[in-house]
Structures are given as C-alpha cells and as structure tokens.
Amino acid sequence: MRGAEPLTRRGRLGACAAVLAGCARVAATGTLADGGSAQPVVEDVDPPPGAVDRDARFTVRFSDPMDEGQLLAASGRSESVVLAAEADVERAAAAIEHAPLSAHERTLLVSAAADLAADRRSIGIAPDRPLDAGGYFLLVSPRLKDERGRRLAGNGARFGFHVDPPAPSATLVTPPAGGEAPRNLLAVRAFAPAGRVSLLGPHGEELASAEAHGATVLPVPAMLSAGAEYSLALDGKAAAGQIFTGAPCLRISAPSFQGGAPQLTVSDTAVAVAAVLDWPAHLSVLVADGQGAVATAAVEVGCAPPACGPQSFACPASVRMEGLRAGTDYTLVLEARDDYGFTYRTAPQAFSTLASLPRAVISEVMVWGVEAEYVELLNRGPGAADLSQLALQGGDGIVRPLLVGPPPLPVVLRPGARAIAAGASFDESLYPRLPAGTPVLRASTQRLLGRGLSDDAPAAFRLVLLSQPAAVLDEFPPDTPRCAVGVSLQRDEAAPADGASWACGMPGGTPGRPP
C-alpha cells in the first residue's frame, strides 16, 4: 500500500510520514498553545490508499475551512487536488504547484469533476469515466491555503492507489445474456480471452466446452427445453449473469435482408457494403470480376430480435472491401448463415469501381427555355463516375459543380448510364418519358451556367473533373446546328469521343434515353 508523502518535483513515490491505522489521516506539524493547529493539514482521505474499484470516487478532508478560490478553478474543476496516472505523477505534481494550469498540463490529469463541501473542509474528486487498470496518485498542491491565509502544512501530499485488471470472464455473444433463443439453436457464440469456456444446461451439467482464445463457438448437442436456463462457465466457475433461456418456438426461416439487397458505396479501389438483416448471422461478402473471385470478407452480425413472433429489420451490418481495381466491373454476393442451419444468398449485384479519369461525355443538349433546358451526360465506361466530382465550365471560365453541395452518399453513374444536369428551375413534368431513377442534378442557379443556354446559338462549354487544375473530360463545340424549338441537339454516340458530330434530334428530346 502506498500512502501520502511530501509533494516535490523530484521526490520518489513512497509512504506518507504518518498514517493512522485504517485511514489516511496525516498528523499536524505543529499546534498552538490552545491546542489549535498552527497550519491546516489533510486530515483524511477516502478511500484509504491502496486497491480501489474502477468506479472509485475520492474525498480529501482538511482540518480547517480552505480557500475556495484555490480549490476550484474557473472551469469548476480542481487544479490543486487532482488525480494523475502513475506515469504522469511527477509532471502533474510539478504542474499543480502553480496556477492556472496550461492546456497541456491539464492533459496530465485524470479528467474529473470536483465537489466542494459547503463548509469548505472537504472536496470530492469523481473521475469522468471508470479508471483503467494501473497505478494512480491523488495529489494535493502545496500552494493551498485556508480561509485565514495559512499555507497547508508540509509540502503538499500524494496518496497512492491502484486498480487491478478485471478478472478473466466469459460473455455470451449470441444468444445475448438475458435473452431467449428458439429451441432448435445449434451453436452458442461466446467470448473469453483465455481458459476453458463451457456451456451449462438447466441443471448445471456441461453440454459443450472449448479452449477459448477470444471468440468461441460452442455446439448445442440437443434441442433446448422451453423455459429452461442455460449459462456459461470459465474454468469451471459460473460466469456471472451469462444466462439465456430456451424459447417456446422454433426458427424456421433463413435470415433476410431489408430491401432484398445491400446498399453499396464505391470508390476507385474499394466498396462499402451496408445491409440490415432481421436475424443475427455470420455475413460473408464475395466480390468477383470477370475472371472469378477476387476478394472476400466476413463479419458477425449481432443483435437481439424477439425469439418468437413477428420479426423486424433491426440488425445492421457494414463491411468495407479494399484492394479493388479502379474502373473495373464487379459482382457482389452476400451470404447470411445463422446458428439454426439456415443460409440465404443474395442475387449477384453488379457494380463498378470509379475510374481515375471517368469517360463521361456530353451526349444531348436541350436549349428550349429556362424550365426545359438540360444537358445529358453519358458514362461511356469502363468504371463508374462520381457525379459529385464533375462540373460544367462556361465561356466565363467559372467551374460550376453539377451538385450544389456534397450528398450524404456519392451519386455514382454506372457505365452506360445517363444523368441530367439542369438549372434549379428545371421542370421534370415536361418530360414524361424521363426514365425513373435517372439522376437529375440541379445547379445552384436558376439556369444552367448562370445565364442559361442560348436558344439561337448555344455557346461552347466543357464537362470537367473537379481537380487542380480542372481536367477537361469533354467539350460541347461552338459550331453546332440550329434546331427548331423543342428539338434537342444529339451527339453521334457511335463516333469517337474526340471526333463526335452533332445533329438535331427528336422533338421533345430523349433525356435519360439513347437517341
């Protein structure tokens, strides 16, 4: 047990000069003729120095009312009675010899709230979160004075404490502790850092066991009994609170996905998969290109849906797959396998990683009035294009992003897909044949390129990639034909990107569709 000692910059950690039995009471250094203290002293520390729990709260009691201004800083916390980890104690002790503390010096202290008693003879120190295992010191600054201006006796004090690491234990993963499991459960998933973890039956009998090294799977040898309790033990000792109950029903269906498929977010070399299931499962992800499987990943989806009765989608899962090739087509399949013998596989879902330099082109231009004008974009592939990284640049040189602000998720244009760039006044109802799901990207201005597209002779403009400097992907030429009102200009999509010709297309245009 460590106690209190004089607080100096280079003092070694050790026991206090005088500690009464059963507490941390520090003797006064001098007395007056009438028996009163010549100087205030630290009378008591609670809990006593030594081993403490992770959620310990500390109280320091003084022999006399102390100066409140020195005990509490402007923040309401104490910078004169503090808690510090053993590794930081010498620097923290030196820091609290002066006031106020710098921002760096405050990082040497365990963050804690301070509670000063009404009589100012005690102060409580409550750490903001449970303490990690290790050594700690409660430090009392030597600059403290009482209300009469008398300095604290001695040279401050320090009191040593230690928090022991938690004892090894086994915990239930699925079924969760306190939950229920359908009777046809085939395996229990548990976690234990080390030791032999066991599954115990209703009468304490061992049903299965395994040497644990983290995540552990314990087979269930027989059907669960409805209403019976099952528990975990580690090295023959029951794990407190790790109990689940057999439910009066069977699980008869495989896990399912909300919407039937996951949501994909792609970049140039990765894909992030987000899915929501109705049941805990082992989720495997398989990504393949045209040559076969190229990447796999797996994650345990843990949740606690009702064991019996209607189910809802309440089990979120996310997986990120790295190491893919830019500008490449892939397919993705999810497989959900539960602990009841059921497996579900999604249909192959195609996606393309983003091309480093997307082959997006301007494929159609409509110049018919403010509410009808648009620019159609076509991604010729290979690879997907992130529309949030594309912009239009007019003759004024201003680069105007296709999207006003960054979306919560990337708006990706797959190879062969089309998108519409328009002004804020664009009216989709003018184009009833616009395919559903076609991205319509509205600019921050009412008209495209600020002033819109001229009905007489559309000026040249560019499709650019937002970079420094902006990379030109395609250009609408200045010498295009003049078309009748309501007729769009169509690109010859069969021609090379750098040599395409333009002609008047169909009345009403073909936004979102091939010519």
What are 5's two structure tokens? 């000692």
User: What pTM value is reported for the model?
Assistant: 0.59
Tell me the sheet residues that pair with 295: 287
Domain spanning 258-352: CATH superfamily = Immunoglobulins (2.60.40.10)
The two beta strands, 349-352 and 329-337, are: antiparallel
Statement: 171-246 belongs to CATH 2.40.170.20: no
Query: What is the average pLDDT across 161-177?
Result: 92
Domain chopping of the chain, boundaries: 42-163, 171-246, 258-352, 360-507
Across the chain, mean pLDDT equals 88
Ranges 34-48, 92-106, 317-331: which has the least confidence: 34-48
Predicted pLDDT of residue 497 = 67
Three-state SS at 211: strand
Domain 258-352 shares a fold with domain 360-507:
yes
Which of 258, 251, 180, 175 lies closest to 218 in space, CA to CA? Answer: 175
Query: What is the average pLDDT across 153-161?
Result: 92
pLDDT of residue 15 exceeding 50, the answer is: no
pLDDT of residue 439 exceeding 90, the answer is: yes
**All residues at 6 or more sequence positions from 400 whose CB lies less than 8 Å from its CB, including other chains:** 391, 392, 393, 394, 443, 444, 445, 449, 450
Q: Summarize pLDDT for 85-95 with one digit per residue, the tens.
A: 999 999 999 99
Fold of 360-507: Immunoglobulin-like (2.60.40)
pLDDT of residue 361 exceeding 70, the answer is: yes
Using pLDDT thresholds of 50, 70 and 90, give the confidence band for residue 404.
confident
Encoded amino acid at 490, one letter: Q
**CATH for the stretch 42-163:** 2.60.40.1220
Predicted pLDDT of residue 163 = 96
Query: What is the average pLDDT across 307-313?
Result: 92
Predicted pLDDT of residue 133 = 94
> Would you say 164 and 135 are in contact if contact means Cβ atoms under 8 Å apart?
no
